[in-house]
Amino acid sequence: MVKKAAPDVAAGTLTWLIDQYRDTAAWQQLSKATRRQRDNIYKQVIAASGNVAYALVTKADVERGRERRAATPHQARHFLNALRGLFRWAQKAKLIKQDPTAGVENPERPKSEGFRPWTEDDVAAYEQHWPIGTRQRVWLDVLLYTGLRRGDAVRLGRQHVKHGTATLTTEKTGTVVPLPILAVLQQTMDAGPCGDLSFIAGAKGRPLTKESFGNLFRHACRAAGLNKSAHGIRKIAAIRCAENEATVPQMNSIFGWTGERMALHYIEAANRKKMAATAMHKLVNKEGDSIVSQQREVRQLGQKDE
């Protein structure tokens, strides 16, 4: 059902179509994080072409928009995904006959391992600089001992905890994760300081947005001599789980993943580390000389014969 256009919005324009889309069940079914991300893209589209008739948008127009963002492939992908969501809905609603995003290819994902995980030495350095009883220590321990993403960690509070288990619906995927509060985390939170509505809080005890928390946490890392941020902590939490022989279902339950890909990535890395540790002795021959040393001696003997 098409709603009445706002007084300052001309019907049939891209601005009008985006306004209609934001009022649909398809839009509401997206996660909050996705809606926020796409909202920012739609604002750019409206600023540049809001008065253009949406029925006149072509595949070539979409491709040009993608190419303008080609220098930042992630932004190009987000742009294309945002337009796909909009025009696919418009086609189902019979507002357009053809989807101009159909057949437009996503740019290749940049080859990157993402943010570097923290090391155990990083954790130790941070803990030494920010002991229990500081809000900065609360920040680290909430991230490290829940495995939550930054946007979920800043929302976690006493209202989510019942009978020693925190239950939270994740912002990115809408997955419900049950997280028993570990004794080490409870000790940190008991010492505080925590906020009234969230365990992670600023200087005045108020909740933080994930963006402001990210900036504050980065400053806390620099003070501890670390060139790190909140992003790599979820990775070291996953590494710890995998090295402690957590299964795929167990890791999915903690981190809110589905399928096997993410958990197996960490489990296989942990298995390689263990296998290498148990197999390195195989580089030594039965007589106790290393293979490399034995080969060196053979080469030296050959040179003497010459």
Q: Tell me: do 76 and 137 sit in the same domain.
A: no
Q: Tell me: do 88 and 124 sit in the same domain.
A: no
Contact 267, 254 (CB under 8 A): no
Q: Tell me: do 185 and 248 sit in the same domain.
A: yes
C-alpha 117 chain-centroid distance? 12
Q: Tell me: do 124 and 268 sit in the same domain.
A: yes
In a domain, 58, yes or no: yes
- Predicted local distance difference test score (pLDDT) of residue 171: 86
What span, in angstroms and rounded, lies between the C-alpha atoms of 270 and 239?
7
Q: Tell me: do 180 and 70 sit in the same domain.
A: no
C-alpha 40 chain-centroid distance? 18
Taking phi over 0 as left and psi of -120 to 50 as alpha, with beta for the rest, 163 belongs to: left
Tell me the CA distances in angstroms from 206 to 32, 196, 203, 214, 302, one per residue in order.
21, 7, 7, 15, 76
- Predicted local distance difference test score (pLDDT) of residue 32: 81
Q: Which residue has the tokens 């059902």?
A: 1
Virtual torsion, Cα 149, 114, 261, 209, nearest 10 deg: 10
In a domain, 302, yes or no: no
- Predicted local distance difference test score (pLDDT) of residue 298: 57
Q: Find the domain containing 181 and state its range.
A: 120-272
Q: Tell me: do 133 and 228 sit in the same domain.
A: yes
- Predicted local distance difference test score (pLDDT) of residue 116: 80
Strand runs labelled E in 49-194: 161-162, 165-169, 176-180
- Predicted local distance difference test score (pLDDT) of residue 72: 86
In a domain, 109, yes or no: no
In a domain, 305, yes or no: no
Residue type present at position 247: T
Tell which residue, 223, 222, 161, 149, has the closest CA to residue 190.
161
- Predicted local distance difference test score (pLDDT) of residue 286: 66
C-alpha 297 chain-centroid distance? 52
In a domain, 294, yes or no: no
What span, in angstroms and rounded, lies between the C-alpha atoms of 104 and 293?
58
In a domain, 38, yes or no: yes
- Predicted local distance difference test score (pLDDT) of residue 113: 52
In terms of residues, how long is the chain? 306
In a domain, 285, yes or no: no
**Residues 153-182: pLDDT tens digits?**
999 999 999 999 999 999 888 889 999 999
Contact 236, 119 (CB under 8 A): yes
What span, in angstroms and rounded, lies between the C-alpha atoms of 212 and 208?
6
Residue type present at position 111: K
Q: CATH code at 125?
A: 1.10.443.10
- Predicted local distance difference test score (pLDDT) of residue 254: 94
Q: Tell me: do 140 and 61 sit in the same domain.
A: no
Q: Which residue has the tokens 């324009």?
A: 13
Structural domain ending residue among the three candidates 92, 109, 135: 92
Q: Tell me: do 164 and 58 sit in the same domain.
A: no
Judged by DSSP in three states, 53 sits in strand
What span, in angstroms and rounded, lies between the C-alpha atoms of 288 and 284?
6
Q: Tell me: do 193 and 246 sit in the same domain.
A: yes
- Rounded to the nearest 5°, which phi and psi values hold at 81? -65, -40
What span, in angstroms and rounded, lies between the C-alpha atoms of 7 and 286?
87
In a domain, 227, yes or no: yes
Structural domain ending residue among the three candidates 39, 74, 92: 92
Q: Tell me: do 130 and 87 sit in the same domain.
A: no
Q: Tell me: do 138 and 263 sit in the same domain.
A: yes
Number of domains observed in the structure of the chain: 2
Contact 80, 64 (CB under 8 A): no
What span, in angstroms and rounded, lies between the C-alpha atoms of 149 and 168?
12
Task: Per-residue pLDDT tens, the chain, 306 aa: give them.
Answer: 456 556 668 889 999 999 999 999 999 988 888 898 999 999 999 999 999 999 999 999 999 999 998 888 888 999 999 999 999 999 999 999 999 999 998 877 655 555 688 999 999 999 999 999 999 999 999 999 999 999 999 999 999 999 999 999 998 888 899 999 999 999 999 999 999 999 999 988 899 999 999 999 999 999 999 999 998 999 999 999 999 999 999 999 999 998 999 999 999 999 998 899 888 888 887 665 555 566 666 566 666 555
What span, in angstroms and rounded, lies between the C-alpha atoms of 165 and 9?
48
Q: Tell me: do 129 and 263 sit in the same domain.
A: yes
What span, in angstroms and rounded, lies between the C-alpha atoms of 48 and 68?
13
Residue 196 DSSP symbol: S
Q: Please indicate, yes or no, whether the overall pTM of this predicted structure exceeds 0.75.
A: no
CA angle 163, 166, 171 (to 5 degrees): 160
Q: Which residues contact 7 (CB under 8 A, 6 or more apart)?
A: none
- Predicted local distance difference test score (pLDDT) of residue 291: 57
